[in-house]
């Protein structure tokens, strides 16, 4: 800084020009350095796609479309004993991933929207700061801690509640199936509840950002017309931000599907497709982390293939969600 | 409508009871939602303290990990060291790279198609599941060099941190007023000099707090480390060779029925949460204390 100033002060116009030329190299280098750093993101994403697919190829080419349509997951090491040939059908795990993610969103989205509205529309400044810190802390708790809590505290304590739900809703057609007889507390539902707690801070923070883009004048207009705060929210804030809120929900979905450890500890590790949410199941990320240690050869390749499927799904969800959010935000800010 | 009725309405401008009730109920529901989050946090923290606090002793924090999960005592010292070493290594890779990337996005690329694409993909990259990042590092590093190592763990954590650092840093750089850049340029400073000596210091508090949040997230990651970092029972203070981390220890012990394992899991969980909360709160403090805001 000081030398640059000194340069300018001591030199005439001609010297200043040469000085600029000397520094041009630094600028070029810096620009390229920064560009390279930016390109790393693209390089890593491309490498993830390439490298994992390459390692997954033996299993994928062997199983073909059965990988996502069959529920027969029989890894290599079982086949020595008899008629069972190794087979990699991940349908039960894809099912589990989807079920758990849906449960978590059904629970988390209303709560997140409530908190986001509370923070942006209702809460006084102090309370707002408190709630935001609270969400930050909730978001900071590691996945494995939620898993431990779900396994040791939630699962044993919630079994009674599951049983009660089952008894109450048994005669009701759809709910009777969903709330079936329970086993030991480790189930789709328990994993879904844990995921809901983990997803809430993320969806809330995105919903907050979206709600903040609703123009002040629109809110004031509604209030000036005599609307109550809730009528203002329903008539102005929610319609305005609907697109962005949808995007926020989808980002939560992506997060819920990729969550590994908390699900691995609470879902119960049992490959089954069932309508009973109180039964144990399994999800793609949980299968990978549970079985990777003892896997070799094609089995390992199949687990990596599970990762590829997961990667593709989450990328699709994220790309769509980000596009929706940024389009909604642009539209609102332009309005 | 009579004029008098009109003016009376305006004076006592109160909506009818039904609308006020709806408003009250809706507000109550929103408060209940916030309360739900508070209760969830309190429940988790309560059980962490209840089951973990009595485990944490000086001995627990400084002893080696027992080789047998049935063992009643033992500690998590190697895991604490591993967490520090691997997240430290990840930070050393991801933070400079992320800041440089953010500089490209905000100072050079701006709204050009390439910059917008990178920005978009960085957002998408924050959504890549950590387990996929672990598989990625496994395929490009562990398979190639046939070795599990702390460095591979640091690589995986670094990949998870990178997009967070880029996006938070860019947000901060965007808040730095253009007048500062112009003033610096007017003094004859080059762009690189302006960026390093004026723009970065102006946004420093925000950049540090963003980096610390990324660090906190990396410190709590388990999934990638489970299959790229390996396992050790004695402290390994380097990135070479196998290593372990607090989250991995919690995971390994959590599903064991033995009381010793359960105690170690809760003790390690409390230690980890304490570390992560400290980082998060410190980040908030830094950004609040030193934030200059839009000048």
B200-235: pLDDT as tens digits: 999 998 899 889 989 999 999 999 999 899 889 989
Please, where are the H alpha helices in B12-62?
17-52, 58-62
Model confidence pLDDT, tens digit, residues B72-81:
878 899 999 9
Given a cut of 60, is residue A82 above it in pLDDT? no
CA dihedral over B125, B129, B134, B138, signed as positive or negative: negative
Query: Once rounded to an integer, what is the mean pLDDT over residues A295-322?
Result: 91
> What is the predicted pLDDT for the residue at B288?
76
> Three-state SS for A73?
strand
Q: Give the distance from residue A208's alpha carbon to the nearest chain B alpha carbon, in angstroms.
A: 13
Give the 3-state DSSP-derived string for A200-217, with helices as H, strands as E and coil as C: HHHHHHHHHHHHHCCCHH
State whether A54 and A130 are in the same domain.
no
End position of a domain, from candidates A15, A30, A63? A63
Average pLDDT, chain B: 89
> What is the predicted pLDDT for the residue at A73?
85
> What is the predicted pLDDT for the residue at A80?
53
Given a cut of 80, is residue A11 above it in pLDDT? no
Contacts of A233 in chain B (CB under 8 A): 26
Q: Which of B124 and A85 is assigned the larger pLDDT?
A: B124
Model confidence pLDDT, tens digit, residues B166-198:
999 999 999 999 999 999 999 988 889 999 999
Pick the closest to residue A148 from B30, B256, B181 (CA basis).
Answer: B256
> What is the predicted pLDDT for the residue at B291?
57
Given a cut of 50, is residue B295 above it in pLDDT? no
Model confidence pLDDT, tens digit, residues A232-275:
999 999 998 888 899 899 999 999 999 999 999 999 888 888 88
Residue A156 is part of which domain span? 87-334
Q: A312 touching B, CB under 8 A?
A: no
State whether A144 and A222 are in the same domain.
yes
Question: Among A66-80, A320-334, B4-18, B121-135, whose mean pLDDT is lowest?
Answer: B4-18
Question: Greatest CA separation found in chain A?
Answer: 93
State whether A271 and A303 are in the same domain.
yes
> Three-state SS for B293?
coil
Confidence of residue A9 (pLDDT cuts 50, 70, 90): very low
Task: Give, in degrees to the nearest 5, the angle at Cα A35 between A34 and A40.
Answer: 100
Structural domain contains residue A260: yes
Structural domain contains residue A80: no
Query: Which residues, numbered 92 to 111 in chain A, qualify as contacts with chain B under a Cβ-Cβ cut-off of 8 Å?
Result: 110-111
Number of domains into which chain A is organized:
2
Average pLDDT, chain A: 86
Confidence of residue B156 (pLDDT cuts 50, 70, 90): very high
User: Do residues A274 and A224 make contact, with C-beta atoms less than 8 angstroms apart?
Assistant: no
State whether A119 and A195 are in the same domain.
yes
State whether A141 and A37 are in the same domain.
no
State whether A230 and A292 are in the same domain.
yes
Closest Cα in chain B to A109: B33
B80-290 CATH: 1.10.3720.10
State whether A29 and A164 are in the same domain.
no
Q: How long is chain A?
A: 335
**How many Å apart are CA A70 and CA A187, to the nearest integer?**
22
Asked whether the beta carbons of residue A29 and residue B192 sit closer than 8 angstroms, the reply is: yes
How does DSSP assign B120-167, residue by residue?
A: HHHHHHHTS-HHHHHHHHIIIIIHHHT---HHHHHHHHHHHHHHHHHH
CA dihedral over B63, B64, B69, B71, signed as positive or negative: negative
Pick the closest to residue A193 from A265, A301, A122 (CA basis).
Answer: A265
Q: Is the pTM of this model over 0.80?
A: yes
Place of tokens 């709330």: A179
Axis-axis angle for helices A13-63, A297-334 (nearest 10): 130
Model confidence pLDDT, tens digit, residues A177-236:
888 887 788 899 999 999 999 999 999 998 998 898 888 999 999 999 989 999 999 999
Asked whether the beta carbons of residue B118 and residue A41 sit closer than 8 angstroms, the reply is: yes
User: Do residues A257 and A288 make contact, with C-beta atoms less than 8 angstroms apart?
Assistant: no
Give me the residue spans of the domains in chain B: 80-290
State whether A136 and A284 are in the same domain.
yes
Asked whether the beta carbons of residue B47 and residue A153 sit closer than 8 angstroms, the reply is: yes
């Amino acid at each position: 800084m000081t030398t640059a100033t000194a340069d300018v002060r001591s030199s005439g116009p001609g010297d200043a020009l040469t000085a600029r030329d000397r520094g041009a190299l630094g600028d070029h280098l810096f620009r390229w350095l920064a560009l390279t750093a930016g390109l790393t993101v693209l390089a890593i994403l491309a490498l993830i796609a390439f490298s994992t697919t390459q390692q997954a190829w033996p299993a994928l080419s062997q199983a073909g479309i059965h990988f996502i349509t069959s529920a027969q997951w029989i890894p290599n090491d079982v086949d020595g004993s008899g008629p069972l040939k190794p087979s990699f059908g991940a349908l039960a795990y894809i099912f589990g991933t989807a079920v758990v993610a849906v449960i978590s969103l059904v629970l988390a989205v209303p709560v997140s929207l409530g908190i986001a509205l509370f923070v942006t529309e209702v809460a006084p400044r102090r309370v707002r700061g408190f709630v935001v810190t609270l969400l930050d802390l909730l978001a900071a708790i590691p996945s494995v801690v939620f898993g431990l809590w779900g396994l040791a505290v939630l699962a044993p304590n919630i079994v009674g509640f599951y049983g009660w739900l089952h008894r109450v809703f048994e005669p009701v057609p759809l709910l009777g199936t969903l709330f079936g007889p329970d086993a030991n507390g480790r189930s789709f539902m328990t994993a879904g509840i844990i995921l809901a707690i983990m997803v809430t801070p993320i969806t809330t923070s995105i919903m907050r950002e979206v709600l903040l883009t609703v123009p002040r004048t629109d809110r004031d207009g509604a209030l000036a017309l005599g609307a109550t705060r809730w009528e203002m929210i329903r008539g102005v804030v929610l319609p305005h931000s609907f697109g962005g809120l949808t995007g926020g929900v989808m980002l939560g979905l992506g997060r819920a599907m990729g969550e590994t450890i908390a699900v691995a500890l609470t879902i119960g590790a049992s490959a089954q497709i069932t309508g009973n949410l109180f039964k144990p199941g399994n999800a793609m990320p949980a299968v990978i982390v549970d079985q990777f240690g003892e896997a070799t050869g094609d089995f390992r390749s199949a687990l990596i293939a599970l990762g590829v499927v997961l990667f593709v799904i989450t990328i699709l969800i994220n790309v769509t969600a980000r596009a929706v959010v940024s389009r909604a935000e642009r539209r609102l800010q332009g309005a | 409508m009579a004029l008098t009725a009109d003016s009376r309405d305006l004076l006592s401008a109160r909506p009818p009871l039904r609308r006020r009730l709806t408003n009250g109920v809706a507000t109550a529901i929103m408060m209940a939602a916030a309360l739900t989050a508070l209760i969830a946090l309190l429940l988790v923290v309560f059980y962490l303290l209840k089951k973990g606090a009595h485990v944490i002793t000086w001995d627990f924090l400084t002893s080696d990990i027992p080789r047998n999960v049935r063992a009643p005592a033992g500690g998590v010292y190697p895991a604490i060291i591993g967490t520090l070493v691997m997240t430290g290594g990840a930070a050393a890779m991801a933070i400079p790279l992320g800041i440089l990337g953010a500089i490209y996005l905000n100072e050079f690329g701006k709204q050009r198609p390439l910059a917008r694409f990178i920005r978009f993909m960085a957002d998408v990259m924050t959504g890549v599941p950590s387990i996929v990042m672990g598989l990625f590092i496994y395929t490009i590093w562990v398979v190639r060099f046939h070795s599990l190592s702390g460095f591979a763990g640091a690589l995986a954590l670094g990949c998870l941190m990178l997009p967070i650092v880029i996006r938070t840093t860019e947000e901060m750089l965007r808040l730095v007023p253009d007048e500062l850049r112009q003033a610096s340029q007017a003094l004859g400073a080059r762009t690189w000099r302006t960026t390093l000596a004026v723009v970065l210091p102006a946004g420093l508090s925000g950049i540090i707090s963003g980096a610390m949040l990324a660090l906190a997230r990396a410190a709590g990651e388990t999934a990638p480390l489970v299959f790229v970092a390996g396992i050790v029972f004695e402290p390994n203070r380097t990135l070479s060779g196998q290593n372990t981390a607090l989250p991995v220890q919690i995971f390994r012990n959590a599903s064991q029925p033995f009381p010793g394992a359960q105690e170690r899991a809760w003790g390690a969980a409390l230690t980890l949460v304490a570390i992560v909360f400290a980082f998060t709160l410190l980040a908030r403090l830094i950004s609040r204390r030193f934030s200059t805001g839009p000048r």
